[in-house]
Amino acid sequence: MKYRVLQSEQVWGGFLKLHRYRLQHECFAGGWCPELVRERVEGNHAVSVLLYDPVQDAVVLIEQFRIGALGHQEPPWLLETVGGYVEKGEALEAVAIRETREETGCDVSRLELVGTFFTTPGWCCGERITLYCGLVDSRGAEGVHGLAHEGEDIRVVVMPAGEALGELFRKANSTSIVVGLQWLALNRERLRAEWS
């Protein structure tokens, strides 16, 4: 299948970059579909880490205010996995280690790749996330972290893995944590055997 971009222009350049595209693509039935106009938030590549302590059978999560939840969930603070954007030339694993330290104060001793996925491509967002599961010692993980110059106010939450799974689609309802916790449910016993 082919597509062609007829025009692309940036229509907003704040924290998020919004581009408007005029494009066409081939139709499944043959020929070319009519021209479309679509806006897309130009997403960066992000890394996210579900922090797991197999000895304690606990996860280290973060909680923070999210503008996307405002007006849709009260209160708009979500449980999430650690995460951050990849800077040019930066290795994905280095981002995982850096963001874990910045947002939780924990040190990752091992990483396992879960996968890479789009957050919401149908909503016209180009952001991709590479998700890892990271081995940590959850004992002593606590406090408020984040970078003040980025406006971060991040609270560390340590909870038993089973309790975290019970928060799926409640307080744990953003893409990375949903994928991460479901992956953990499938791989928890293996990780406890291999990482303990």
Active site residues: 150
- Plot region of 61 (φ>0 → left; ψ -120 to 50 → alpha; else → beta): beta
Q: Are 147 and 15 in contact (CB under 8 A)?
A: no
Phi, psi of 173 (to 5 degrees): -135, 25
- If residue 154 lies in a helix (H) or strand (E), which one and from where to where? strand 154-160
Q: Rounded distance, CA 92 to CA 96, Å?
A: 6
Termini Cα distance of the chain: 47
